[in-house]
Structure 1
């Protein structure tokens, strides 16, 4: 078909939603229909199962989308877990004056049935929730909007499906990598991983190596070796125990594998790491040098930050901080800020876990709304802020030298910089080393407890639930530092969080939930939080741990981070 005619075919087409319904297929249950009266889009998530569409069978796992054309038949069978679904029936019709015969070509996407694993499944479910909400409000502008949302969703699915046709979906590399991260201590086979990706072993091998630069089984070995290296460096665990906790039943095979990977046997590596300098720097997250970094000049240390450089000619004595996390950093190094922002709206306060240590600290408003006049009255000799305060930077810098850090910078990087500022580099390095040692030990202790299970970090927000990924700072503590397995639903880490409706929360399919609660700030839990608790408490296989959102989200200093680690240990090792 000529390109001009094909373009006209799309522009003369409109999408009309006919019906939207949601439900759950229980373990062993079947959702089926024969002779569809209209095109159908089936969006599902949760457990695994089998899908037969027009006589062709395929295995489905995690989240997937199935597009079936009018007249098709399908059957979705759930495996050992619930599968939560949304079915949208629609028809594509020509606009007035367009050709009467729509989509004559046989391979046109809207006349083709296909199964697709989307790149961002959480976003797909969010879109489906919006369509269902708009549709449920009845006729009028809301249903008009539902049609527009469906058309956009169909476009995204068709584009993704056509880009990935003929090979494994690029996004499935993230899913497989996330699965490996949570299960590398177990026996894994390439065939099993390929089934998860919905493709052949060779296709997965090629695609995974293209994106990760190593094959999937080599990636398993990398994670095992990195875990073993942390335990050797920061724990006194016997070699045999380390081998077992990293997936090797034979200590001698583990020793050979470790020597092949690192060039020296485990015992020698442990002795070298214990006596060699710079061990913390080798293991810490490397910051972006454009954002925040210390460097030595001939006279004094120089701190590079978002708005320039600050030369540390003398240790500042009266420091004003416009983010609570920076108060935490100073306290950890044995200093109290002269002034700090706090939490709250009606009555401002400091976090409970170091409130008593800030009795002599002046309140400077909140992070979002700093009291600039109070900062000026304080007469500090240094101000530390974030990029959120960029609008106030000129006024702040007229009051005192002002350093601006990226708020989401690693706490370890910031602590190192504060060590430079205060002349306490050794104390900062020791605290980072202690944290790495502690999380390495706890990660090894949690591994057998969480074998085959996943942990989700969620926060009820108004009428939706925010699900945090490993890209979020608290998510990084759980998923990177402690090695907790993330649910496949949030395997993609291109964003720090996804939003879904409360009733679709079971599709996350985690075994443990840390629920970020605002109860302390609101004098009671919200209706959304109560609904979330009701849904999760209904499944006896799931456990929910409510934690204070102000601590877990707002406080990223060493004290706050270690409080999070404490609560994770108490919850999962109880």
Structure 2
């Protein structure tokens, strides 16, 4: 029965992702799964290898996708180069109350193990990576999105499978395509490919062109030129070496073939690609440059996201467009001429540094700086973050601009501010004091929190954000003070992820630092109330509400020392 006649059965079929992971197999390495407890999508790309499944061994080429049903065992072996693989596990079932079971016509794709080899759609690998990444983030919308992407991928895979069920002619093309993908660097002939397919040369050409929209030898040339293009872009191999690897004994014949296919000779292609790559690389380096400094004959040079700034004389009127930079300057005994503040309806400076900003002009907020106020201020230096990139051209007409990543290490920024303002010794002392203080506090907390973990959470509209050790405030808890991350979040590489309020008890932390907005508004939000209500009586004694604006926004030596004060009071008090 054709696929399109199964509409009702398909519409009642539910797909639920269970897990996903990825990895790389070195040559000779093996990935093996026995007696699968769920259906599996297995995708791989890179070198060549073998896939053993259901007692049969299949040679796999540069890339493939495989559907493996529950109860099956498989073994994937890398035979040449590295094989990058992705595994996605899922269950397929009929939705509750549906009048249909999963369709059983012919061999239904969801109940059949099959291989699509090769996978020419690069987006399949990209989508599989996205599915796994979204799934690994945790809960809520991320996993909902992963499941939606998975359903789309299964649809694409089944459609490809169904197209291949048209009979021996479809099979012959698949066999030839698979063989070409693994042997296109060799000297291939049409009669050899036809013999492999068990048909005449004319039959192969006709059928191949119907399915691939080009002839088999044209397909060979396409794969060769795509591979040659990659080598020209990413290796130092000579044109002759590339020609030889692509199966051309004559370098000049290869050059003519390449020019016919790409439009330019190989050397011109390489030079153009290198020029573009160099420009892109230089731009990427600049945009992602880590803040640093070095000495020059003219004075200290500060490296930032927009270039380099030589400190020929100490700036006297500094405007900062992030409160954390005001924190740094005050810690060094200085005061900015102008600084952004915090707030929404009304703007103000944070309470903990307000005393050091008595003569400082208010310049709007971090998200919405008041550029007219900056112009009126006439500073001799402006310090901002990548968020202000859209304003840099206008700001640069006022004064030199230094741009740092907002999440750059505060310790790095403090050292650079010491170079910039002639306060090197003060910066070193502040850092030494902080490291000594956190080391002593860490020793004091160790016996008190033995076997206990601490979570950093922030209620949002309807979800809870759980911060990891990668978050800059999380780093104070988990890196500087050595507190234990809950196992629930210990393996995340992101700064935070989201879970539903109902899932919060699964974090199983002994102490919760709850980033609250109640200090900036009357009362607490409904989500925050639900969070507090979700924790039982015993746990609730260990929920410590702290000011979200200070703990997240005021990322400087004074702000972080204040956070350490609150941590000590909460955990030792």
Shorter-normalised TM-score: what interval? Answer: 0.5 to 0.7
2:124 maps to 1:125: no
Secondary structure at the residue paired with 1:523? Answer: coil
Report the Cα distance in structure 2 between the residues aligned to 1:511 and 1:451, rounded to whole angstroms. 11
Query: Structure 2, unaligned stretches of length 5 or more?
Result: 17-37, 41-69, 72-87, 116-131, 156-286
Alignment of 1:415-434 (within 5 A): 415-434=414-433
- Mapped partners of 2:505, 2:9: distance in 1: 36
For residues 188-222 of structure 1, give each alpha carbon's deviation from its aligned partner in whole angstroms, at most 9, with x where no partner exists.
xxxxxxxxxxxxxxxxxxxxxxxxxxxxxxxxxxx
Q: Deviations over 1:96-143 (max 9, x none)?
A: xx85744444799xxxxxxxxx87766342248759xxxxxxxxxxxx
Equivalence for 1:572: 571
SS at match of 1:478: helix
* Structure 2: distance between partners of 1:364 and 1:69: 57
Q: Aligned residue for 1:175?
A: none
2:393 is matched with: 394
Contact residue 301 and residue 308 of structure 2 kept, 8 A: yes
**Per-residue deviation, 1:147:** 7.8
| 466 and 88 in structure 1: CA distance in 2 versus 1, 3 angstrom threshold | farther
CA distance in structure 2 between the aligned counterparts of 1:437 and 1:409, rounded to whole angstroms? 22
Q: Distance in 1 between matches of 2:334 and 2:135?
A: 46
Aligned position for 2:380: 381
Query: Which whole-Å CA distance do the structure 1 matches of 2:410 and 2:374 have between them?
Result: 24
CA 1:127–1:380: 2 relative to 1, 3 Å = closer
User: Which residue does 1:508 correspond to in 2?
Assistant: 507
Q: Shift of residue 508 of structure 1?
A: 1.3
Partner-residue secondary structure (3-state), 1:519? coil
Length-normalised TM-score, structure 2 = 0.56
**Where do 1:118-197 residues align within 5 Å?**
123-127=137-141, 130=144, 148=148, 151=151
Corresponding residue pairs, total: 360
Distance 1:104 1:359, change over 3 A: closer
Q: 1:534 to 1:378 in 2, by over 3 A?
A: same
Q: Deviations over 1:441-460 (max 9, x none)?
A: 11111111111111110000
Give the root-mean-square deviation of aligned CA atoms.
4.1
Cα distance between partner residues in 2 of 1:569 and 1:453: 15
Residue of structure 2 in register with 1:30 after alignment: none
Pick 1 or 2: higher relative contact order, CA cutoff 8 A, min separation 6.
1
SS of the equivalent of 2:352 reads: coil
> 1:321·1:340 contact (CA, 8 Å) conserved in 2?
yes
C-alpha contact (below 8 Å) 2:410/2:557 kept by paired residues? yes
> Deviation digits for residues 66-119 of structure 1, max 9, x if unmatched?
966779xxxxxxxxxxxxxxx999998459xx85744444799xxxxxxxxx87
Query: Equivalent residue for 2:550?
Result: 551
CA spacing shift, 1:290–1:124, aligned 2, 3 Å:
closer
Residue 488 of structure 1, CA deviation: 1.4
Taking the aligned partners of 1:154 and 1:572, their CA distance within structure 2 comes to: 50
1:466 and 2:465 correspond: yes
- The superposition leaves residues 373-396 of structure 1 with CA deviations (integer Å, 9 ceiling, x where unpaired) of 000000001100001100100110
Residue 498 in structure 1 maps to residue 497 in structure 2: yes
Match of 2:44 in 1: none
Preserved contact between residue 328 and residue 557 of structure 2 (Cα < 8 Å): yes
Partner of 1:409: 408
- TM normalised by structure 1 equals 0.56
Q: Deviations over 1:544-572 (max 9, x none)?
A: 00000010000011000001111111111
SS in 2 for 1:348: coil
Tell me the secondary structure at the aligned position of residue 516 of structure 1: strand
The answer on 1:339 being equivalent to 2:326 is no
1:443 maps to 442
Aligned to 1:372: 371
Q: Which residue number in structure 2 is paired with residue 518 of structure 1?
A: 517
Q: Is the 8 A contact 1:319 1:338 kept in 2?
A: yes
